[in-house]
Every structure is written in structure tokens, then in C-alpha cells.
Amino acid sequence: MIIAKSKSDLEKMRRVGELIAGVREALRGMVEPGITTLDLNNAAEKMIRDAGAYPTFLGYQGFPFSICASVNEAIVHGFPTDYELKEGDIFSMDMGATLDGFVGDTATTVPLGNIDPEVAELLKVTEKSLYFAIEQCVPGGNVGDIGWAVQTLAEEHGYGIVQGYTGHGIGRNMHEAPQIPNYGRRGTREKIRAGFVFAIEPMLNLGSPDTKTLADGWTVVTADGKPSAHFEHTVAVTEEGPEILTLSAEQKLKRGAEKGETVSA
């Protein structure tokens, strides 16, 4: 059963969403050649705890870190390590925070300096597919519309769609109903209602959709060794349409200004 959130619930989810988005953007600013993925993990954990929240990923089903740190061919669930990021890498970071009983979940893939043009295009299209999927989160739509949107853009560009890992409902728990794969047919599955909150997360591969899991039991990589991109937002369905909860305070101000809205810090 998909759990609709109350107005009070959504206010709490806005707060935790903004918090984890701020952490994401702070980490984005730290990503540069020479920094280790473990450095970024430790910085994220400190920021989350300093804000009075808990790093949701830490200990979740035994996961031993506060962020997932996936480099190049790693798709999801990568372990932070002493690996030093270098020019030409792409770095996917996935993270969550729990505050006042609710979870915010977000991910992004960051290029380091000049990357291969076809990899840059992969990042661009994967992020574009996220926003196209978010556009489908309207009352009266169907859950299948979300995966259809990602699949449509992925297939236009010949990218492999990761099959075994999905988006999901989110709220008091990080993973709630429904599962939201990055493929689907329009008009199928559950009807979307105001109050539903989804974590939508396209994962697209430059090559084959096939994956394998490394010996650590967590890190999922492309079977052919080609790069993969991952973007994610937590999104609330409102009567007015989708609301992205994982925008930082600065991003909210910018979006408000672009729409000509009156905004305050």
C-alpha cells in the first residue's frame, strides 16, 4: 500500500529534504582531484549529524557508511575508500538523512574536469530523464508513467537501463511502496494521488544494462566496465503538481526568482 502523507508529514519531509540537499551541494563543491571518497563520506556524516539528523544509510541493512560512493563503472552502493578522485572520473554520490522521523534521499553524478564527451552526454541525458520522470508525478497519473519517461529518453540515446535497482516510495522509512523501476508503460500500475512521495532515481549505463556485484557484497558495477550515471530527487505529489523536496535553500531561492515568485531567505 502506498502511504499518502499529511500536510504535517510533508512539512517535515521538506525540512529533511532541504537538509540533505544542502549536504549534497556542499559535497559537490568539495569534489576535486585528490580528495578521497572516504573524505567525502566523513564530511557528509558530520554535516548531517551537526544538523541534528541521522545519516540514514549508516547501518541500513548492514551498510557500513553514510553515503554511497560510486566511481566511473560503479552504478550504486559503492563503498567510500581511500581512492583519490582524478581528472576524467565521474563520481556518483547517493545519500539520505532522517530528521523528525522522516527521510530525505538524493543522488547526483559529478564530473571531474574534462571528461569524455560521450560520458558527458550520458550525465546530461540521465539528469534530463530524472526531470522528465518528475513531470509525470501528478494526481491522476500512473506509477508506470514515471518509468516510461526514463525509458523513453534512455532508449532514444541507446543507453542501458539498470533493471535490478529502482526508485521507491519514501517517508518514515527510506524504502516504502511502490517500487519504481526505470522502465514501464504509460497508464499502468497504481494511480498517483496527492500526498504520495517518491524517490525517483534513473540509473543509466553507457553500454549494456547488465550488472555485477563486487566481493564487498554491495558495490554494483556495469558488467562491461563502461560508465554509469545516477541522479535522484525526493518528490512530493501535490494538487498543483510535483514538488521537488531535495532542493537546497539556495536552489529554492533561485527557482523562485526564475518563476518571478516572492521569496525570502
- DSSP assignment of the chain, as one string? -PPPPPHHHHHHHHHHHHHHHHHHHHHHHH--TT-BHHHHHHHHHHHHHHTT-EETTTTGGG--SSEEEEETTEEE-PPP-SPBP-TT-EEEEEEEEEETTEEEEEEEEEE-SS--HHHHHHHHHHHHHHHHHHTT--TT-BHHHHHHHHHHHHHHTTPEEP-S--EEE-SSSSSEEEEE-S---TT-SSBP-TT-EEEE--EEESS-S-EEE-TTSS-EEETT---EEE-BEEEEEETTEEEES---HHHHHHHHHHTT-----
Does 2 map to a domain? no
Residues of the domain holding 63: 7-258
User: pLDDT of the chain along its 265 residues, tens only?
Assistant: 999 999 999 999 999 999 999 999 999 999 999 999 999 999 999 999 999 999 999 999 999 999 999 999 999 999 999 999 999 999 999 999 999 999 999 999 999 999 999 999 999 999 999 999 999 999 999 999 999 999 999 999 999 999 999 999 999 999 999 999 999 999 999 999 999 999 999 999 999 999 999 999 999 999 999 999 999 999 999 999 999 999 999 999 998 888 776 443 3
pTM of the model: 0.96
The CATH number of the domain holding residue 30 is 3.90.230.10
Does 265 map to a domain? no
Does 264 map to a domain? no
Does 236 map to a domain? yes
Query: Domains in the chain: how many in total?
Result: 1
